[in-house]
Amino acid sequence: AQKITQTQPGMFVQEKEAVTLDCTYDTSDPSYGLFWYKQPSSGEMIFLIYQGSYDQQNATEGRYSLNFQKARKSANLVISASQLGDSAMYFCAMREPYSGGGADGLTFGKGTHLIIQP
């Protein structure tokens, strides 16, 4: 069974609209971390935002916010006021167990290809 599910293979959005990219996860561990990365066509993976399973508030970083619904095991990325430069692949990833050393690798979803149209 997939641990990270991104149900939207691709999305087209008009510039300046808000975008929600879906991510659901599966874990039985109470401690885990969720990450979102952006991968432009140039190939580099860019860290966007992090949410810990015990965090009380939804994470925000500039135009990015994470809609964390723990009971639903959902961690959707919201991009406000989308820009042409937001066009990229977006990956949701999970680290489990939530270890102090942070040495565990990430489990990635298959990604969502977001295209922002002018």
Partner 1 sequence: DVKVTQSSRYLVKRTGEKVFLECVQDMDHENMFWYRQDPGLGLRLIYFSYDVKMKEKGDIPEGYSVSREKKERFSLILESASTNQTSMYLCASSRSGGGNQPQHFGDGTRLSIL
50 binds partner 1 (CB under 8 A): yes
Q: Give the interface segment with partner 1, choosing from 15-23, 67-75, 78-86, 100-108 (CB under 8 A).
A: 100-108
Burial class (CB in 10 A: 0-12, 13-18, 19+), 85: exposed
71 binds partner 1 (CB under 8 A): no
43 binds partner 1 (CB under 8 A): yes
| Binds partner 1 by CB under 8 A, chosen from 86, 91, 114, 116 | 91
| Binds partner 1 by CB under 8 A, chosen from 13, 22, 52, 64 | 52
Give ∠ CA 8-12-17 in degrees, rounded to 5.
110
Residues 9-38 that bind partner 1 (CB under 8 A): 31-33, 35, 37
Closer residue to partner 1, CB minimum distance, 11 or 106 = 106
Nearest Cα neighbor of 36 from 46, 26, 27 is 46
DSSP 6-41: ---SEEEEETTS-EEE--EE--S-S--EEEEEEE-T
# of chain residues touching partner 1 (CB under 8 A):
31
Residues contacting residue 17 through CB under 8 Å, at least 6 positions apart: 81, 82
Which residues of the chain form contacts with partner 1 (CB under 8 A)? 4, 31-33, 35, 37, 42-47, 50, 52, 91, 93, 95, 98-111
